[in-house]
Structure 1
Amino acid sequence: MTAVPAARPAPSPTQEDTAAMSADVPAAAERRPLTVLQSFPEPRETTNPYVVMLRDALAAVPGTRVLTFSWRRALTARYDAFHAHWPEILVDGNGPLKKLVRQALFVLLLLRLRVTRVPLVRTVHNLELPEGISRRERVLLRWAERVTAARIRINDSTELDAGTPVETIVHGHYRDWYAAHPRRDRRPGRLAFVGQVRRYKGVDRLVEAFGETTDAGLSLRIAGRPTSDGLAERLREAAAADPRISLSLGFVPDADLVGEITGAELVVLPYREMHNSGGALAALSLDTPVLVPDNAVNRRLAEEVGAGWVHTYTPPLTGADLTGTLDRLRAEPPAAAPDLSRREWDDAGRAHVAAYRRARAALRR
């Protein structure tokens, strides 16, 4: 990946800026709640917990109103900021006709944001555009990038260009989200991958590395829904060849996810490219060590949470990486729970609201 200069954080408004903002905004507007439209619809069981926890944290901030997404709301409702998470979802659809309709609506949305001077704030979950999208989708997403008023990065190691103001609001933990579900007893030698099985997550390499081990006391558990039939079939073939591998290839409800993670001695996330990982934070929130690729983001996470929780390897993953990590973990188990104090959702909610207000004020100036 080509190196880019680190982004400059958005400057805090000065007293003169604040006075100018107040002069530009009518008194009635100051009294009404700050209304934010999120880019995700009303949550369901399968919705990413990150956005649900963000919605709840925003709603808890006094003077804030949160709307979930529908095209009717996006094009007709009154709101002060639009927060996009994975904008590629908004230009995709099941079937050519639905996709074309959504893309036309997306154009109208961007035009409406420009005419009404409503800022588009985007969380940078991924550094690159998705693979396999059409030229039209790529053009629309590039357009959205150009009109973005502020970007939010969820770890402070993310390097972005300096063209658009950047806020850093770290990914919150999952402790409260999973607190209601019972934990399992740890199974010695159990390695686990839990979460949606995507090609870039390298689960096939994990299976190959596990096959290099010979210890009959080791086991590998893979729980999650593959994104393609080909991935699912390859995993089934691997499991059939090694009785130590077990699979649960479907959506993993929260209660089952807690059981799968807490029942493992080590969660392995062999992503080919790892920038932000809710999977790592989910495991740490459930007091389970993780093995992840060695990079700047994961080294910073290891320093943050304390010794013994985040173990790294130099890709490609090997069987020796798996057994060596277990040996180190058993020789020096963590002395205390992971430190996730920087990742409280109350703090994240207030920081997001401040970011929306700064983006709105800057755009209106």
Structure 2
Amino acid sequence: MRNASRPSTPAVRVMQSFGPPRPTTNPYIHMLDAALAETAGVDHLRFDRRRALLGRYDALHLHWPELLLRGSSPSRTLARRAFAMALRLRLSVTEVALIHTVHNVRPHSDSTRWERRYLAWLDRRVDHRIVLNEQTELAPGAASTLIPHGHYRDWFASVPSVPPTPGLLSFVGLVRPYKGVEELLDAFASTAATAPALRLRIAGSPSSAQLERDVRERAGGDARVELDFRYLTEPEFANVVMESAGVVLPYRFMHNSGSALAALSLRRPVLVPRTDVNEALAREVGPGWVTMFDGALTGADLERFAEGIHPLPTAAPDLSAREWASAGDAHRSAYVAAVARRRGGARS
């Protein structure tokens, strides 16, 4: 095992902010969980509330810290807030280092005033940040490590390959307000006369019944649009991507996108908004895999994308900088740096 290859180095004991991954857990967490379990010099602990308050560990690694504060009911939210205050006390009186992976520049959902105050305190308490791309802006002097989001090739390796369907574009993944699905449908509707053979599939579970109604209304009676609002298993997600000629991700704001990397890992090109992050991704993976649009998505953008990706590029997208074994080792280095910073000393 890889975690036996560094016998002379003390292991850094790190608790993650996630528990045992479930089938519905973000694949990034599944893959990180597996990578850290195999990383030499890391004693990898999944989240446990009792251990978080009373146990011995060197560092706590946060991913989406707002999720620690929210429950599925008012009573559970109250219980989580009580735990959060107890955790704050523990972090205030001990030398537990705090690491935060900056997945999003800001939370995707609205937060309460209490949550904003708590998250602001957490942000001040963080010793080290992990960023997924070079474009993430941090406060001057903030300690950080760049660890690119790993690829999904191994994650989807067991899913049989299927050929793309010419002219079929897809949006795939959880349907959220910030992802711009309504604007995608408006843009697609404008192609009815100029690209009648073009098809669009929306596949993924909406975040609310109201959003589902809005999307259905936008789709109208366009027979070229297919709506599949089921929660997709990972093989189903992969099949939707592979059956598509290309994947459209018209997010209103995009900083890091696991869906884009998943599509590229499955060798399907993506259409995404033009941002510094996406321009860097296009350079990284090679020509033909990342197409960008400027401003509001239009029907012309969709038509150009559909024309430009047929046939698919012959060379696979270059994802060599996103190997999970390298990510595990890089996380260990970040953990060691965070612990040293918190304790004011050196640890190798």
TM-score by length of 2: 0.93
Q: CA deviation digits over 1:20-79, x for unaligned, max 9? A: xxxxxxxxxx86532211111111000001011111111111232211112122112221
In structure 1, what is the Cα distance between the partners aligned to 2:108 and 2:278? Answer: 22
Residue in 2 that maps onto 1:270: 250
The 2-side partners of 1:136 and 1:250 are apart by 34
Match of 1:207 in 2: 185
CA distance in 2, matches of 1:347, 1:231: 39
| Residue 329 of structure 2 corresponds to residue 345 of structure 1 | no
Matched, 1:170 2:152: no
Match of 1:161 among 139, 147, 150: 139
Matched, 1:66 2:44: yes
> Which of 84-93 and 52-61 deviates more?
52-61
Counterpart residue number, 2:75: 97
Letter in 2 for 1:324: R
Aligned length in residues: 335
Is this contact kept in 1: 2:40–2:329, CA < 8 A? no
Q: Cα gap change, 1:320/1:99 in structure 2, threshold over 3 Å: closer, same or farther?
A: same
Give 1:85's aligned residue. Answer: 63
Q: What is the distance in 1 between the residues matched to 2:234 and 2:160?
A: 10
Whether the aligned pair in 2 keeps the contact of 1:183 and 1:263 (CA below 8 Å) is: no
Q: Which residue of 2 aligns with 1:27?
A: none
The answer to whether the Cα contact below 8 Å between 1:311 and 1:325 also exists between their aligned partners in 2 is yes
In structure 2, C-alpha distance between the alignment counterparts of 1:170 and 1:321, rounded to whole Å: 28
Instruction: Give the counterpart of 2:89 among 85, 103, 111.
Output: 111
Q: Quick one: distance in 1 between partners of 2:123 and 2:141?
A: 10
Shift of 1:193: 0.6
Q: Match for residue 287 of structure 1?
A: 267
Unaligned runs of 5+ in 2: 1-7
Output the CA distance in 1 between the equivalents of 2:312 and 2:241: 17
- Does residue 181 of the first structure (1) align with residue 159 of the second (2)? yes
Q: Write the distance in 1 (CA, Å) between the matches of 2:9 and 2:248.
A: 49
Q: Distance in 1 between matches of 2:91 and 2:256?
A: 28
Q: 2:214: which partner in 1? A: 234
CA contact (8 A) 1:37 1:82 kept: yes
Distance 1:323 1:31, change over 3 A: closer
Identity of aligned residues (%): 48
CA distance in 2, matches of 1:224, 1:200: 14
SS of corresponding position for 1:176: coil
Gaps of 5+ in 1: 1-29
- Aligned residue for 1:123, secondary structure, equals strand
Aligned pair partner of 1:327 in 263, 285, 307: 307
List per-residue Cα deviations over 1:260-283 (Å, max 9, x = no partner).
000000100000001000010000
Kept in 2, the 8 Å contact 1:182–1:258? The answer is: no
Cα 1:333–1:256 change in 2 (3 A) is closer
Q: How does 1:121-140 map to 2 (within 5 A)?
A: 121-140=99-118
Q: Give the drift of 1:210.
A: 0.6
Give the corresponding residue for 1:33. Answer: 11
Instruction: Give the TM-score normalised by the residue count of structure 1.
Output: 0.89
1:304 partner amino acid = E
String of CA shifts for 1:166-198, please: whole Å, max 9, x gaps: 111110000000010112221110000111111
Of residues 194, 200, 204, the one that matches 1:224 is 204
CA distance in 2, matches of 1:46, 1:38: 18
Q: For 1:131 and 1:275, how far apart are their aligned partners in 2?
A: 15
Residue in 2 that maps onto 1:361: 340
**Distance in 2 of aligned mates of 1:337 and 1:77:** 46
Structure 1 position 130, deviation (Å): 4.5
Correspondence for 1:55: 33
